[in-house]
């Protein structure tokens, strides 16, 4: 799934943004399943929502680390 244009981004940044986009989509699907009054099984969507939180935290950590590495490289070569 290509939700965002990844042109000009590093591989790490692209992976981080993909993880964040996937997390958002997974959370949205889980919320729809939880809000559905006909759905008797809330365990699966609640676990998926929890997984989406972990995925978004991982994506944010990768993006943060990528930005720190880029800043370090700019400081070295400046």
pTM as predicted: 0.81
Per-residue pLDDT, averaged over 27-43, amounts to 96
| Res. 15: pLDDT tops 70 | yes
Distance separating alpha carbons of residues 1 and 28, to the nearest angstrom: 15
**73: containing domain:** 22-32+42-78
Phi-psi domain of 56 (left: phi exceeds 0; alpha: psi -120 through 50; beta: other): alpha
Query: What's the number of domains the chain is made of?
Result: 1
**57 or 1: which leads in pLDDT:** 57
Does residue 49 sit within a domain?
A: yes
CA distances (Å), 12 to each of 45, 46, 55, 60, in order? 29, 29, 15, 11
pLDDT of residue 3: 46
- Mean pLDDT across the chain, nearest whole number? 90
Does residue 37 sit within a domain?
A: no
Does residue 2 sit within a domain?
A: no
The secondary structure of 51-74 as a DSSP string is HHHHHHHHHHHHHHHHHHHHHHHH
Does residue 7 sit within a domain?
A: no
pLDDT of residue 7: 57
């Amino acid at each position: 799934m290509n939700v965002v244009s990844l042109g000009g981004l590093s591989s790490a940044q692209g992976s981080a943004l993909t993880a964040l986009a996937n997390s958002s989509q997974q959370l949205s699907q889980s919320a729809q399943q939880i809000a559905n009054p006909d759905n008797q099984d809330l365990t699966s969507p609640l676990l998926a929502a929890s997984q989406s939180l972990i995925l978004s935290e991982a994506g944010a950590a990768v993006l943060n680390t990528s930005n720190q590495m880029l800043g370090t490289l700019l400081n070295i070569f400046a």
